[in-house]
Chains A and B, each alone.
Chain A
Amino acid sequence: MHELSVIIEVAKQVEAIAIENNITEVDSIVLQIGEISSMIPRYIEECYPAAVDRTMLEKTKLVIEIVKATANCDHCDQVFNIVDSEGHCPICQTKDWTLLTGKEFIIKEIIVC
């Protein structure tokens, strides 16, 4: 399951940021996950405790924000949610669009005590 290796990478990056900024305790990590990224939030949450076990982040909470999948229609320029509209432009019905958001996997911020 790749969520485990990915969340271990997140923990490593957050630890490095904490050390860089002389932070000894992190209260929470806020992740942004795109609606159509290959990461499944529920799996990320399940793997998280194992990833931070016996690290400085052991007591750190994980907060996940979902980023909606939006696209820009190549024909009529409409911006729409591609999940809600099932992959086609709600105005002109074509499937030619450019993805704007939805594949993110970002450490948005950390909250420190």
Chain B
Amino acid sequence: MSEFKILEIKQAVFEKNDRQADQLRIDLKNEGIFLLNLMSSPGSGKTTTLTRTINLLKNELKIGVMEADIDSDVDAITIAKTGAKVIQLHTGGMCHLDAGMTKQGLAGLGVNELDLVILENVGNLVCPAEFDTGSSKNAMILSVPEGDDKPLKYPLMFQICDVLLINKIDVLSVFDFDIELCKARVLKLNPNIKIIPISARTGEGIPEFCDWVKEEVKNWKGVSHE
């Protein structure tokens, strides 16, 4: 007789997180809080874009930010200067946030009064795509210096996002980045994605992104149940 015992588990690894994320989304919907999960490679311009976006929206929406990108609080300090409510999440070197960590972060931030919470996720294009945070919508930034072939290399990220910001278009002339080719590659992966070219440096395109955010927040608050 074997001394080993087999314990049948049949547990889908992502299912637990997916369930937590769905529950968080329902809770946020009922509270009328829109959570935007912002993802990109390090240095694509998440913090710079957020600063500009908050400055344009802060008279209309009450905004909170959760900083998870790097463990130091430099980004949080930058964001705090806009007047938005901000919390630094300590991810302990984890390469993504899951729904449980996101929920804790929201509790730490205190979201009762807020209309819009933006999560600056950990800077990478792989792990955050695998873990649903419970966000209402997903946004990503691809910056011109990273190259127009990123959709071919990281398809999942482009598939799960609702809006893509192509940032740093002020330096387009210096790089051989083909915007139209990039758009075509992204739309092939995800026909429903909204693509907005921006420059967080000059502010170009930011108003269009703000309009998208306002519309989504309005829709989210409009219908109170799933």
Contacts and interface: CB of A to CB of B under 8 A. Distances in A.
Interface string B1-26: 00111111111111011000000000
Given A2-B126, A5-B127, A38-B130, A107 B13 contact: yes
B16 A13 contact: yes
A84 interface: no
Given A1-B126, A5-B94, A5-B127, A109 B9 contact: yes
Interface string A1-27: 110111001100100010001010001
A6 B7 contact: no
A91 interface: no
Contacts of B94: 5
Given A111-B4, A111-B7, A13 B13 contact: yes
Given A5-B94, A112-B5, A113-B4, A10 B126 contact: no
B96 A5 contact: yes
Interface of A: 1-2, 4-6, 9-10, 13, 17, 21, 23, 27, 38, 104-113
A23 B12 CA distance: 21
B95 A112 contact: no
A109 B130 CA distance: 22
A113 B4 CA distance: 5
Nearest to B156: A38
A6 B4 contact: no
Contacts of A106: 10-13
A10 B126 CA distance: 17
